[in-house]
Amino acid sequence: MIIALLYALVGVGLFGLGLYSLIIHAHLLRKILALNIMGSGVFMVLVALAGGEGNMLDPVPAAMVITGIVVAVSATALALALMLKISAITGRAELNDEEGK
Amino acid sequence: MEALSLLQWLIDILIGVGLLWLAWRVLFSPELFKAIVLFIAFGLLMALAWVRLQAPDVALAEAAIGAGLTGALLLSAWMKLREESTQQFEQKRKRQIFVWLLAIPLLLIIVGLGYAISLLTPYPTGLSTAVAENIDASGVSNPVTAVLLNFRVYDTLLEVAVLFLALLGVWSLEIRESAIGSEPEPVLDVLTRVLTPLLVLVAAYLLWVGAHAPGGAFQAGSVLGAAGVLLILAGWRLPHRLAGLPLRITLVAGLSTFIAVAVLMILGGGRLLEFPSSQASQIILILEATATLSIATILAALFLTSRPSHSEKT
């Protein structure tokens, strides 16, 4: 039980680190990394708290996390392609937040 | 016994601290290349954590997709970014005061979330008993596969659709292909000739074993996709005659089989994607096989980014 709590808290920590980095970094590749780490944190909380009695793991959250991992990789691929397009057009892999105002 | 449980504790704490430390290094190390390599290490450590949490299915998916394919995608994007712009990746951050002020509410959020989690009942029964009761009707004996391809097959249908949509999105952006990997070295060439059949074999094994042990369509698909990525990196390209229609058919095979099965089930008097338990295992095998093929091709195509103009891919 304490092990599950330990991993769940690590998951929360990963989520927090990812969120912080997502906000403060300007570079888009770093933002994509941050989103991936946030996702890993969420998956970790889901699975850690789903561990059943003894050795049985609740298979429903496990299946959802597998689905989530695959969706995360496709979202990452799309995000990276968008980043490359932005950098090809503007010459910088960053979003411009000064000019848009 | 005492010493063993102490050792297990130590391992869990090491993995937990290691994950947080690696995440910190990924997000805040000044060099982007280093960050990406550390992210791959982070994925591998995550796989270890899944094993410790008794989730070997998730560990397999994480090791193949989370660490392997995501890492390959990130590295190739980094290469293209570097080819494109001569500017240095200076780590521009927002103003220092803002950075520190932001840490306070975020810390509060983390503490609040941690507190909320500690209030939850540990080990709720969840749906594991419901799954265990109905496993005989599902056609497979691995509970995770039973959930993925029978009880919640709707999720899987949509997931294959999401993969396909991501590929359409990437193709429509028309990123130019990187110059890397056009000239294979002899060692790499020989190595891929040996490794590819092995990877195909591993994928087939994972697909077959998924019915009763950890494994399944996604794990098999990502291993096969990794084989495709390896071939692309080594400079192999799909021959002309396969890059047009045959490639497209493989890409949509998974999704269309899912939809066809769903429609057939409705025509047969059942509900959407409700399998009769006598034929469930055959239906699941067909679905898994086509899904594996499509997932692998889509993942390899996502890595290539540009649409194969009748002369590229795998």
Interface predicted TM-score of the whole assembly (ipTM), two decimals: 0.91
For residue A55, what pLDDT is reported? 57
Dihedral in degrees, nearest 10, Cα atoms B15, B18, B20, B24: -160
Tell me the domains of chain A and their CATH numbers. 2-90 (1.10.287.3510)
- Option in B61, B118, B128 nearest A59 (CB): B128
Q: What is the pLDDT along chain A (101 residues), one digit of tens a residue?
A: 678 888 999 999 999 999 999 988 888 899 999 999 999 999 999 888 876 555 567 888 888 999 999 999 999 999 999 998 888 888 777 776 665 44
Is B169 within 8 Å of A10 when comparing Cβ atoms? no
Contacts of residue A97, defined as CB under 8 A and 6 or more positions apart, other chains included, come to: none
Report chain B's mean pLDDT, rounded to a whole number: 83
Contacts of residue B309, defined as CB under 8 A and 6 or more positions apart, other chains included, come to: B243
Please state, in angstroms and rounded to a whole number, the distance separating the CA atoms of residues A58 and B131: 9
Neighbours of B61 (CB within 10 A): 29
User: Would you state the structure tokens that stand for residue B205, as one six-digit string?
Assistant: 């094994």
Residues 4-23 of A with CB under 8 A from B: 4-10, 12-21, 23
Is B23 within 8 Å of A7 when comparing Cβ atoms? no
Instruction: Check if the beta carbon of residue A40 is closer than 8 Å to that of residue B46.
Output: yes
Is A62 within 8 Å of B57 when comparing Cβ atoms? yes
C-alpha distance from B92 to closest chain A C-alpha (Å): 6
Q: Is A95 an 8 Å CB contact of chain B?
A: no
- Longest pairwise C-alpha distance within chain B: 65
Neighbours of B102 (CB within 10 A): 15
For residue B101, what pLDDT is reported? 84
Taken in order A25, A28, A31, A37, is the CA torsion positive or negative?
negative
Q: Is A59 an 8 Å CB contact of chain B?
A: yes
Contacts with A49 from chain B: Cβ below 8 Å:
117, 120, 122-124
Contacts with A61 from chain B: Cβ below 8 Å:
126
Contacts with A94 from chain B: Cβ below 8 Å:
92
Please state, in angstroms and rounded to a whole number, the distance separating the CA atoms of residues B312 and B228: 12
Residues 61-80 of A with CB under 8 A from B: 61-67, 69-78, 80
Whole-model pTM? 0.87
Is B93 within 8 Å of A25 when comparing Cβ atoms? yes
C-alpha distance from B210 to closest chain A C-alpha (Å): 13
Instruction: List, in sequence order, every residue forming a beta bridge with B93; answer none if it has no partner.
Output: A25
For residue B108, what pLDDT is reported? 92
- Option in A14, A33, A61 nearest B19 (CB): A14
Instruction: Check if the beta carbon of residue A21 is closer than 8 Å to that of residue A30.
Output: yes
Q: Which residue of A has its CA nearest to B141?
A: A59
Instruction: Specify the range with the lowest mean pLDDT, choosing from A38-42, B114-118, B168-172, B211-215.
Output: B211-215
Please state, in angstroms and rounded to a whole number, the distance separating the CA atoms of residues B163 and A73: 9
Please state, in angstroms and rounded to a whole number, the distance separating the CA atoms of residues B40 and B58: 16
* pLDDT at position B213 over 90: no
Span B77-97, pLDDT tens digits: 888 887 765 455 455 555 677
How many A×B Cβ pairs under 8 Å? Answer: 258
Mean pLDDT of B159-183: 79
C-alpha distance from B259 to closest chain A C-alpha (Å): 18
Contacts with A4 from chain B: Cβ below 8 Å:
53, 122-123
* pLDDT at position B182 over 60: no
C-alpha distance from B267 to closest chain A C-alpha (Å): 28
Please state, in angstroms and rounded to a whole number, the distance separating the CA atoms of residues B251 and B171: 13
Q: Which sequence spans correspond to the domains of chain B?
A: 1-124, 140-314
Instruction: Check if the beta carbon of residue A11 is closer than 8 Å to that of residue A42.
Output: yes
Span B86-133, pLDDT tens digits: 455 455 555 677 778 888 888 999 999 989 888 877 666 677 777 878
Span B26-64, pLDDT tens digits: 998 888 899 999 999 999 999 999 998 888 889 999 998
Higher per-residue pLDDT: B233 or B12: B12
Which residue type, as a one-letter code, is found at position B18? Answer: G
Instruction: Check if the beta carbon of residue B141 is closer than 8 Å to that of residue A60.
Output: no
Query: H/E/C letters for each residue in B89-124?
Result: CCCCECCHHHHHHHHHHHHHHHHHHHHHHHHCCCCC
Find the helix packing angle between B280-304 and B245-267, rounded to 10°.
150
